[in-house]
Amino acid sequence: MRIVCPFCGERELGEFTYLGDAKPVRPTADAGEDAVHDYVYLRDNVAGVMSENWYHGGGCRAWLKVTRNTLTHEIAAVEPAAGAGAAKVGA
Amino acid sequence: MKYSIFSLARAALSSHKNWQRTWRDATPKDRYDVVIIGGGGHGLATAWFLASEYGIKNVAVLEKGWIGSGNAGRNTTIIRSNYGLPGNTGFYELSMKLWERMEQDLNYNAMVSQRGVINLYHSDAQRDAYARRGNTMRINGIDAELLDLAAVKKMMPFLNYDNARFPVQGGLLQRRGGTARHDAVVWGYAHAASGLGVDIIQNCEVTGFVRDANGKVSGVETSRGRIGAGKVGMAVAGSSSRVANMAGLRLPIESHVLQAFVSEAIKPLIPNVMTFGAGHFYVSQSDKGGLVFGGDIDGYNSYAQRGNLPVMEDVCEGGMALMPMIGRVRLLRQWGGIMDMSMDGSPIIDKTPVEGLYLNAGWCYGGFKATPGSGFVFAHLLARDTPHEEAARFRLDRFRTGAMIDEKGQGAQPNLH
Amino acid sequence: MAEFSWDVRSPLDRALAVGRYGGHGDAGVALTEIRNFDLIQVMARRGKAAEMAKAAEGRFGVAAPETPKVVQTADATLIWSGPDQFLVRSKGDKHGMAALAPLLAGSASLSDQSHARVLVSVSGAKARTMLAKLSSIDLHPGVFAVGAAAATSMDHTSVTLWRGNDRADGQAVFNVLVFATFAESLWHTMQDSAAEYGVAIGHSEEF
Amino acid sequence: MAGAQTNRLDNGGLIDRTAPLKFRFDGKSLSGFQGDTLASALVANGVKLVGRSFKYHRPRGILTAGSEEPNALVELRTGARREPNTKATTAELYEGLEAASQNRWPSLSFDVMSVNQLFAPIFVAGFYYKTFMWPAKFWEAVYEPAIRRAAGLGRAAGVADPDHYDKVWAHCDVLIAGSGPAGLAAALAAGRSGARVILCEEDFAFGGRLLSDGGMIDGLPAAEWLSRTLAELAAMPDVRIMARTTLFGVYDGGTYGALERVNDHVPSPPEHQVRQRLWRIVAKRCVVAAGALERPIVFAGNDTPGVMMASAMRTYVGRYAALPAKRIALFTNNEDGWRTVETALGAGLQIAAVIDARPDISPSHRSLASRNGFTVLHGSVSGVDGGKDGVRKIAVSLTGGARAEVEADGLAVSGGWNPAVGLTSYHRGRPKWRDDIAAFVPDGAPPGMVAAGAANGNFGLGACLAQGFAAGAAAAHNTGHNGKAGTAPVADDETFSLTPLWHVAGKGKAFVDYQHDVTASDIELAQREGFESVEHLKRYTTLGMATDQGKTSNVAGLAIMAAVTGKSIPDTGTTIYRPPYVPVAIGAFAGHHRDETFHATRLTPSHHWAAEQGAVFVDTGLWKRAQWYPRAGEKDWLQSVTREVKAVRSGVGFCDVSTLGKIDVHGPDAGAFLDRVYINTFTNLAVGKARYGLMLREDGIVYDDGTTSRLAEGHYFLTTTTAKAGLVMQHLEFCRQVLFPDLDVQLTSVSDQWAQFSIAGPKTRELLKEIVDPAEDLSNEGFPFMGAREVALRGGIKARLFRISFSGEMAFEISVPARYGEAMARNLMRAGEPLGVTPYGTEALGVMRIEKGHVAGPELNGTTTAADLGLGKMMSTKKDFIGRVMAGREALVAPDRQVVVGVKPTDRARRLRSGAHIIPKGQTPGPGNDQGYVTSVCFSPTSDQWIGLALVERGRERIGEIVHAHDPIRGEDYEVELCNPVFYDPDGGRQRG
């Protein structure tokens, strides 16, 4: 698999680390145990197109949101995490 | 027909024209007491134990392809009960005891070979962890031995003791561990279950659940029509989330690819099952002569049933680091299975929040060794509606209560288990 | 009361043996450690990319790289090292922490990396062939031109790689900035990877 | 004297008769020529019997001339370089080559195991599943060892592979598999268009079937066209053509795996060179021009040595000028097989007969037959009379029912051609059936891949050239290269006509899978027993699982299954194709990652100094750390470590702790950020102070710990444990970039920037005074416990000084830029000489942290909570942080959790061991009373006995209780007392003083 890092260009899988589904959002401080349980433990485990967190740790250290098909491994899109390249926020 | 050397010899006289099908080719009935989704080892074992132990014979096993086409037919065939945490320890030993009588139970030679499983250690910390685990095993009545370097050298003189990056220091040995012929386990359970009246229905894919007015599951929709069921048990490994989703459930499971490899057949080289402690590599040699080996999962969610090249390299690096004598042995075939990786690395065998639907999942890459035990306790749950005592901790709500069974201590990140 | 000498030791001090290694004949690869430089990591603060760029341009007279490139000035090399960040390589405290901090304090966070990295330059007729054993990046002249840079890994070790100006003989020069504690290990790997082509080994303090 | 090459032609072929090579087969000296394979050299020497089959140990000869060979497997080379199961058909001959037949005893021609053939009536497919079950204990003791010894083919060397391997990356626009006419035409088109091209050819010579079959291209003889084309390609700077390189797999994102056999054609690799090289090729497009494989027809005796694929016979005769037989018969069901007759006649061989299964035979063939005096029989071969010495007679069932016999010493067989559908099917695409050629052709190829030529079912030379050229041009165009490709090479197409024929009924064993001895009746038996799915068939009979991966057997096997079940072949389906295309040495996948270079090694800044001191090093992750510094006369590690601990506790010592992860946390929101990732608070940490921090995973379990110092308003310096350094950095970046992108915070790893030393012991200040500039105030007031700031050192450099202690002693950690690390160690030694300064290693470090009751890796094991570690009070209740909510779950706050306590044996002379379990006194150990275990132990010089930390159920409530340390795996059981985990200076006066 090769991932096109939005900062570095296309790179080999070995430079990246996988975390998992990027869809769940960390609950707010007052959300309660059930919401956090669902966030931490439950997964859609999509068979098809899925949005995922990947880390370009062997490269520019950006966290990326990768849209990938879990049936074919084809990657449709890669975008930076909200805080990657944040120096340009508001620019 | 009972299988034996005598029946074989008799059959030879008639040029083997009189052998019957190993299991009946069943057509779906309208309704069964229990429908098992998944014709892998676990599903078939469940059916056999339902019929043989719990007297429930009106059972169907539905398989979307051909039986054993999932992980049961694509693993590295290792059996062992060397677990360290309450919940796992007793369960896997139950399973091991069932392996030890399987062939006589089933009248099928699954080539259960208790050739020993050794986990090598390369540091004091690893030795201490294995001592802890070995003691857990011994306290639970399971055989375990902590070998020092000299004992390991004697048993496996062919490892790299000269210039290893992470020298072997010793190992945790379970002599009763070993291997079994994976396909034969599937066929053996199918053979025996079918003999007791269980219907094994291949090419029958479940496409939905039938629910009654109260929401209880009362059957399944399949590619071969609707099939009624008193209870429905899921044993579909990597497809768990997909099937559960048809009942509106989200599971604490991710599906990941695990690769396995086999080399060309060679004369006996490796006597036992070995796990490298400083990399991702484990190996045994099949009776046919191939080195059967594997390593880590590929690391990302996947349903693709094929592996990547970096992990293949990583596994071979581990192999070469451990025993550079395999450098010229050729890797013959690579394949991939879809693992139902759970959030703590341990399985889930429980009722689901949907009445009538029972779950057997989360085996990570340890499902094969659990096959008989899993079938036994899942049959118990289906028959009695209460967990078997050796599976009492494999609850679905343990993530809510915090009672995880996390052997590796990696937390809710399935690709690290 | 003792007076102390604080002699600096390159992490390659022991491993690097000046001379020839490997195959005979013309050396296909030259491996040269570049020693004693200042290296400052500059990371723009949230929303301050433009401000940082302006301050950097004021300081260096050229725009700092915003994509994987290196920018060479008379006394500094600015090497892209990730989104909103670059490394400033210089010598003799010209652009060290003390010099850069006041200028960039409001727009960027600075971190001294002078001792954290080892710089090895790889050149020669077989440089690309040898680097292909370690780097998954395409170093074809049409793809990785003079001035190209990459934050990448070599043999599972993180490096910053860039192509400097060609040698006088026209050969390409690849600069590999590796973390100091990995340096000896990667050095051995580089040396062994180059051995079949013959290696000329040296070190230099040239900027 | 090497044997004469009795079966070698005097002229022709692509061998170099001026370069004779001596070699040995089963100890017998023979000779061949440069350009031979081992197989062709054996053929030239008249050798027919080459190997024994897997199960029945049947005598076998050479069936093919390529990597699909199922029979002619040898142990190549000797000693540590012995390679089992090497295909003689692809092994290049070199001077001094040694090969031995395998799977036989005592010799190839007299093999005792061939007695297995007598049991063949019982040894049918799957027989072992039905027996060997009684008595149960006999499986491991008797049956299995016997089966294992009998099974397997060749013998591995059994000692470390002495050769080297490496792995390399390559990138191109167009990757081409195969250098036959289609592949070369594709390369020409793509190369001329300006694309970057890599062409991989498995053979040592380029040309594919052109080398054996010749032909005319662009009006030139094939050989001439070939050399012209190769010259043109060689002149293109961005075209790389690689011989001896097999493309074996395709992976995601256009990554391909290929194996180059760099030095397998020489006795051993030259110095500094590898044996084989693994290529990882990243290609935008791939043209599979891997050709097709001729397939056998299944008939009784089809495994007799001397029965050979018709195309292979052409190869031996045409390319190698080696004659597999003197008088041959051809059994074909297609037009192509007839080419063998022409080649054979050209080489002066006798044609005994052609047995053609097709209803019609062309007039030109009839006239060829009459001109050359051989008969053409309509029908099929139904049996072969022969043995290990070869074919003698061939039985023919004639169309219409009559029988005939043909005397011949060789039988060429052509059952048609199967396109090589491996590469195109590795992403689980299933090939599709084409009735006109009765073969599967590629379908569902991975993105960017197309098949061309014979690999795509187009067998004519003209079609191969045209399709290859078009595919190459299209691939170049699709990757943005539109240079002038010129016109495609032109050649005529041969006519193709085939009548499918898979299996000829007859008496005797008819082999489908030669190597695994799977016969047609095994397939019928499998069907009878319900194993009719092709995957079941494969697994039950082992069809296609041999080293040839079913290249010659799979399609025939499923055709026979289709016939028994009455289904069509496409409905019967194929098994899943799995890489690698040919077996690849495990060593090649590993490359240089073996032995000491299995993984990288990280060295601390003072490593070489420590080595000079004679330190013993321990592997900690990738690090080498000084474990202890033995001195002359010390009898064991314990004595050294005890000395080091005592020296620190009574004087002063230092230890390199640079392996800790170090992270600069910058920015206005740095404090707020740390508040979210640690359970305790950092916004209120004063500049110039350090604080111990603990972070959880989101599931509430402890992740890591370390000290964090505030060096300036917006600058914190955070340390992690050695083990978690990289992971914590990744976690913090996740928090920064994904969870809390609104915070203005920047993270940089400075782990390698700083050499950090812990200096500990009551004389620490005295030592530091020698090092630090006299102007710096190191007094308790000027530099209090948990102080942190930059200081000047004597001699003009700056350092960071942290007053933190994990030993319980008065201690500092000092950081200097890493290249001063070695000087720091030397200067500490020099300055500390009067104080008796002692360098200490990780063991002494560990002893002192246990004595002080500090938790570390064994306690932070991924299942413990802050409260388990006795650190529950650190959890802030005033803020949210990672792991806060989940940490409150009922099972994680249950009162009966195992928590950290101290343990010490009641017998002070007793050694305590990690991993011992805690059982209440007076109880029989069992799962019900297994209450915890010992996590860390040491011999405590301070307590003068072994002590430890343990995780024990309700441990803190049970201080003073005597329990059992139960350690059955080491045969020990003894009493220990549960105690306060802080064994040393519980008030903390020493570290604060």
Can you give the residue ranges of every domain in chain D?
A: 16-127, 165-292+420-478, 297-414, 503-567, 602-658+754-849, 661-749, 895-992
> Is residue C11 within 8 angstroms of chain D, CB to CB?
yes
CA-nearest of B257, B318, B267, B310 to B289 is: B267
Average pLDDT over residues D71-86: 97
Residue B13 lies in a domain: no
Which of B308, B342, B376 marks a domain boundary? B342
- For residue D173, which phi and psi values (nearest 5 degrees)? -85, -45
HSE-up of D650 (CA within 13 Å, CB side)? 9
The closest CB to that of C116, out of D168, D604, D750, belongs to D750
Domain that holds residue C84: 38-112
Residue B5 lies in a domain: no
Question: Which percentage of chain D shows pLDDT scores above 70?
Answer: 100
Cis peptide bond N-terminal to D941, omega within 30: no
pLDDT in tens, D659-686: 999 999 999 999 999 999 999 999 999 9
The verdict on a CB contact (< 8 Å) between C8 and D748 is no
Residue B7 lies in a domain: no
Is residue B64 a contact partner of residue B40, using CB atoms and an 8 Å limit? no
Q: Domain D503-567 has what CATH class? A: mainly alpha
Q: Which one has a higher pLDDT value, C207 or B148?
A: B148
pLDDT on residue D370: 96
Q: What is the Cα gyration radius of chain A?
A: 15
Average pLDDT over residues D564-592: 94
Is residue D794 a contact partner of residue C3, using CB atoms and an 8 Å limit? yes
CATH code at position A51: 3.30.2270.10
**Cross-strand bridge partners of residue C202:** C32
Residue A78 lies in a domain: yes
Average pLDDT over residues D1-19: 87
pLDDT in tens, D15-66: 999 999 999 999 999 999 999 999 999 999 999 999 999 889 999 999 999 9
**Looking at beta carbons, which residues of chain B come within 8 Å of D153?**
264-267, 289
Q: Which residue of A has its CA nearest to C107?
A: A87
Alpha-carbon separation of residue B327 from D579, D592, D605 (angstroms): 19, 11, 35
Q: How many domains does chain C have?
A: 2
Residue C54 lies in a domain: yes
CATH node for D661-749: 3.30.70.1400
Token representation of residue D756: 């950090």
Q: Give the number of other Cβ atoms within 10 Å of residue B148's Cβ.
A: 11
Residue B6 lies in a domain: no
d(CA D753, CA D39): 60
Q: Domain D602-658+754-849 has what CATH class? A: alpha beta
Which of B322, B342, B362 marks a domain boundary? B342
Q: Which residue of B has its CA nearest to A48?
A: B303
pLDDT at D206 over 50: yes
Same domain, yes or no, for C103 and C191?
Answer: no
User: Which listed CATH number (3.10.20.440, 2.40.50.140, 3.10.129.10, 3.30.230.10) goes with D16-127?
Assistant: 3.10.20.440
Same domain, yes or no, for B274 and B378?
Answer: no
pLDDT in tens, B201-210: 999 999 999 9
Give the angle B137-B142-B146 at the CA atoms, nearest 5°. 60
Average pLDDT over residues D266-280: 97
The verdict on a CB contact (< 8 Å) between D737 and A13 is no
> Which ranges of B206-323 would DSSP assign to H, the alpha helix?
240-246, 309-322
Is residue D61 a contact partner of residue D308, using CB atoms and an 8 Å limit? yes
Which strand (E) or helix (H) includes residue A52? strand A49-55
Same domain, yes or no, for C45 and C85?
Answer: yes
> Is residue D967 within 8 angstroms of chain B, CB to CB?
yes
Terminal-to-terminal C-alpha distance of chain B? 43
Average pLDDT over residues D459-472: 97
d(CA D151, CA D173): 45
Same domain, yes or no, for B188 and B315?
Answer: no
pLDDT band at D586 (very low <50, low <70, confident <90, very high): very high
Same domain, yes or no, for B189 and B243?
Answer: yes
> Which ranges of D743-841 would DSSP assign to H, the alpha helix?
764-771, 821-832
CATH code at position B42: 3.50.50.60
Give the angle B25-B30-B33 at the CA atoms, nearest 5°. 90
Same domain, yes or no, for B94 and B203?
Answer: yes
Alpha-carbon separation of residue B3 from D134, D588, D950 (angstroms): 11, 44, 54
Question: Which percentage of chain B shows pLDDT scores above 90?
Answer: 95
CATH code at position C136: 3.30.1360.120
Residue B206 lies in a domain: yes
Residue B87 lies in a domain: yes
Same domain, yes or no, for C149 and C190?
Answer: yes
pLDDT band at A55 (very low <50, low <70, confident <90, very high): very high
Token representation of residue D921: 């006194």
Q: How many domains does chain B have?
A: 2
Domain that holds residue B149: 117-177+255-342
Q: Domain D297-414 has what CATH class? A: alpha beta
Residue C11 lies in a domain: no
pLDDT in tens, D468-513: 999 999 999 999 999 999 999 999 998 889 999 999 998 999 999 9
Same domain, yes or no, for B190 and B99?
Answer: yes
The closest CB to that of D153, out of B183, B289, B404, belongs to B289
CATH code at position C102: 3.30.70.1520
**Looking at beta carbons, which residues of chain B come within 8 Å of D51?**
none
Average pLDDT over residues B263-286: 97
> Is residue A43 within 8 angstroms of chain D, CB to CB?
no
| Sign of CA pseudo-dihedral D574, D578, D580, D584 | negative
Is residue D326 a contact partner of residue D304, using CB atoms and an 8 Å limit? no
Same domain, yes or no, for C165 and C149?
Answer: yes
Which strand (E) or helix (H) includes residue C203? strand C199-204
- For residue B333, which phi and psi values (nearest 5 degrees)? -150, 145
The verdict on a CB contact (< 8 Å) between B330 and D584 is yes
Same domain, yes or no, for B48 and B65?
Answer: yes
Query: Å from B379 to nearest chain D CA?
Result: 24
- What is the pTM (predicted TM-score) of this model? 0.97
**Looking at beta carbons, which residues of chain D come within 8 Å of B308?**
251-252
The verdict on a CB contact (< 8 Å) between D796 and C185 is no
Same domain, yes or no, for C200 and C143?
Answer: yes
Same domain, yes or no, for B274 and B167?
Answer: yes
Q: What is the mean pLDDT of chain D?
A: 96
Residue B94 lies in a domain: yes
CA-nearest of D749, D760, D753 to D646 is: D760
Token representation of residue B368: 């094969």
Q: Which amino acid, residue B116?
A: G
pLDDT band at B46 (very low <50, low <70, confident <90, very high): very high
Token representation of residue D908: 């002070």
pLDDT in tens, B219-229: 999 999 999 99
> Is residue C21 within 8 angstroms of chain D, CB to CB?
no
The closest CB to that of A82, out of D251, D254, D738, belongs to D738
Which of B342, B362, B391 marks a domain boundary? B342
pLDDT on residue C2: 55
Q: How many domains does chain A have?
A: 1
Same domain, yes or no, for B282 and B358?
Answer: no
Residue A91 lies in a domain: no
The verdict on a CB contact (< 8 Å) between D605 and C135 is no
CA-nearest of D549, D623, D257 to B311 is: D257
pLDDT in tens, D806-863: 999 999 999 999 999 999 999 999 999 999 999 999 999 999 999 999 999 999 999 9
CATH code at position B171: 3.30.9.10
CA-nearest of D441, D413, D418 to D429 is: D441
pLDDT on residue D2: 45
User: Do D503-567 and D16-127 fall under one CATH topology?
Assistant: no
Burial class (CB in 10 A: 0-12, 13-18, 19+), D571: exposed
CA-nearest of C118, B417, C132 to D602 is: C118
CA-nearest of C48, D58, D543, D597 to B160 is: D597
**Three-class DSSP category at C186:** helix
**Looking at beta carbons, which residues of chain A come within 8 Å of B252?**
41-43
Domain that holds residue A22: 2-26+36-85
pLDDT in tens, B70-104: 999 999 999 999 999 999 999 999 999 999 999 99
pLDDT at D1 over 70: no
pLDDT on residue D846: 98
**Three-class DSSP category at D851:** helix
Same domain, yes or no, for B317 and B368?
Answer: no
CATH node for D895-992: 2.40.30.110
Between strands D623-628 and D653-656, the pairing is: unpaired
Token representation of residue D635: 């009898």
pLDDT on residue D3: 53
Alpha-carbon separation of residue D295 from D334, D414, D415, D426 (angstroms): 11, 6, 5, 21
Neighbours, chain C (3 or more CB pairs < 8 A): A, D
Between strands B290-301 and B282-285, the pairing is: antiparallel
Same domain, yes or no, for B37 and B173?
Answer: no
pLDDT band at D112 (very low <50, low <70, confident <90, very high): confident
Same domain, yes or no, for B317 and B210?
Answer: no
pLDDT in tens, B111-158: 999 999 999 999 999 999 999 999 999 999 999 999 999 999 999 999
pLDDT on residue A90: 65
Contacts of the segment D872-875: beta carbons below 8 A, 24+ positions apart: D874/D679, D874/D680, D874/D694, D875/D679, D875/D680
Same domain, yes or no, for C24 and C121?
Answer: yes
